[in-house]
Structure 1
Amino acid sequence: MHRAAFGLPATTLLLTVISASPALAEPPAPPSTAIARTELAALTVAAPHSMDGYARDKFDIWSTQPNGCTTRQAVLARDGKDVQDKPDGCQPASGSWYSAYDDTTVTDVAQATIDHMVPLAEAWRSGADTWTADQRKAFGNDLKDPQLLIASESANSSKSDSGPADWKPTNQAFWCTYAKDYTHIKAVWKLTTTDQEKTALSSMLDTCTN
């Protein structure tokens, strides 16, 4: 996705405004069921850490990417369909976004929220409280791993800071992918789990067909 250059002829600028955003990389694919089960078994079970000192801004979410757009805008462009940009070349003006949590499609960009698969607060209580500021920023803006996804406002609000021990997507067809992705994020970032969370993730992995 490129920013509109200053000094372009009006006709060129108009084409930039109405053209669809160039295709970006697909969202990271979930690991196989076998890998997810291996990763889940290897997670360290530990008591949740204190939430003392926690604040969302300590993860510096939606920071600026190398192309000048924010992480949020990058996910909207990556995961949207028929996305068209505003003149700045970053913020979508229109498009549609699928929320797998509740099997709904959002057509108002303002209602297409970006969710952290492993909530920031959950990361904090499972190890991120000991990270450096750079590590937390990398986690909060992780485009490499399946950590950021589209969610409808209602689904995002329902999930809030809960992990799978206390919340599951209403779309049960997504349980397999949710469990794989959630487990993978915890494994990659070396976050701990609890017995309750581990049981919930294992149960949802049982819904996988492969």
Structure 2
Amino acid sequence: MTTRSTTATPPTALSPVRRLLSFLLTAGVLALGLTLGLVAVPPMAAAETYSAPLAQAVEDLSGASEVRTGYSRDLFPHWVDDDGDGCDTRREVLISEADDPVSVGSGCALSGGRWFSYYDRVSWTNQADVDIDHMVPLAEAWDSGARSWTTTTRRAYANDLGDARSLVGVTDSVNQAKGDQDPAQWLPQYDRCRYLREWVAVKHRWRLSVDSGERSALRSLASGCSSMTVTVTRAR
């Protein structure tokens, strides 16, 4: 009686040329399937959008005590050139917010331009008179949750060009008077409802908290700002 061997014969390894041909065939079939709609592609996750009336948006902010321990401005790398076009974040904001055209020269040297500071309703033609204000100051962001972020996230926050409310050009002396204060401590002379809405929008965009004093001030201010809605795309 003859006994049949049960030992499997190893498959013959494909030559490099055959492996390449096999890869190209597979890629071609996949491309055809995508074109004809025969292969399903998982949709990209949609950016999360938050929208609510201003008063409700104030209530929806998470509450927490502020912690300043460990803060340093250097922990928020800012005025960087993330897109590599030669213009740092400060200059990008000056270009985008200019009411009169700005000429961009070598090394992103700016000439021309006029900037309106809505905090005090003053226009400037000298860019040196304009500060780029972090709507929610870096120190306030640290106090409200940014202390737990990575440096990469703090860098993204400090250079946020994805929402025009995050960074705003204003009169330098007014920005210096604001410092790192929240709306319970400082408000601009004009357009306070706009300021309030932009403050709350940035807090929601970056999921920053408010302390009890800040929320109380925001509530009081919101009561005088009727028919306002906060709509913002979350950054994190």
Instruction: Tell me the TM-score normalised to structure 1 length.
Output: 0.78
Bigger Rg over Cα: 2
* Residue 86 of structure 1: how far off its partner (Å): 4.8
Instruction: Spell out, residue by residue over 1:91-150, the C-alpha distance to the aligned partner (whole angstroms, 9 max, x if none).
Output: 322211111111111121111110000000000011111100010001000111211001
Partner of 1:137: 155
Cα distance in 2 between the residues matched to 1:103 and 1:116: 18
Taking the aligned partners of 1:158 and 1:192, their CA distance within structure 2 comes to 23
Q: Which amino acid aligns with 1:156?
A: N
Q: CA RMSD in A?
A: 2.0
Q: CA–CA distance in 2 between the matches of 1:82 and 1:43?
A: 37
Matched residue, 2:224: 207
- Structure 1 letter corresponding to 2:176: S
2:169 corresponds to 1:124: no
Structure 2 partner of 1:194: 211
Deviation (angstroms), 1:89: 6.3
Q: Of the candidates 172, 181, 189, which is equivalent to residue 162 of structure 1? A: 181
Provide TM-score, normalisation by structure 2.
0.70
Over the matched positions of the two proteins, sequence identity in percent amounts to 37
Moved over 4 A (4+): 31-34
1:175–1:207: 8 Å Cα contact kept in structure 2? Answer: no
Q: 1:144 to 1:62 in 2, by over 3 A?
A: same
Residue ranges of structure 2 left out of the alignment (5+ in a row): 1-48, 228-236
Structure 1 Cα separation of the partners of residues 155 and 59 of structure 2: 27
Structure 2 SS opposite 1:41: helix
Residue 191 of structure 1: SS of its match in structure 2? Answer: coil
The match for 1:43 among 53, 58, 61 is 61
Provide the C-alpha distance between the structure 2 equivalents of 1:188 and 1:36, rounded to a whole number of angstroms: 14
Whether the 8 Å CA contact 1:86–1:93 is kept in 2: the answer is yes
- Written as runs of structure 1 = structure 2, the 5 A alignment for 1:28-177 is 34-49=52-67, 51-66=68-83, 67-88=85-106, 90-145=108-163, 146-171=165-190, 174-177=191-194
In the alignment, the residues of structure 2 paired with residue 112 and residue 91 of structure 1 have an alpha-carbon distance, to the nearest angstrom, of 15
* Equivalent residue, structure 2, for 1:28: none
Are the aligned partners of 1:36 and 1:184 in contact in 2 as well (CA < 8 Å)? Answer: no
**Which segment drifts farther, 58-67 or 88-97?**
88-97
SS in 1 for 2:53: helix
Which range moves more in the overlay, 147-156 or 31-40? 31-40
Report if aligned partners of 1:175, 1:205 keep a CA contact under 8 Å in 2. no
Q: Contact 1:33 / 1:205 at 8 angstroms: preserved in 2?
A: no
Name the aligned partner's letter for residue 188 of structure 2.
P
Q: Per-residue CA shift, 1:166-203, capped at 9, x if unaligned?
A: 001111xx111111111111112111101211122222
Measure the CA separation in 1 of the matches of 2:61 and 2:50: 17
SS at match of 1:84: strand
Q: Structure 1 residues 34-43 or 60-69, which shifts more?
A: 34-43
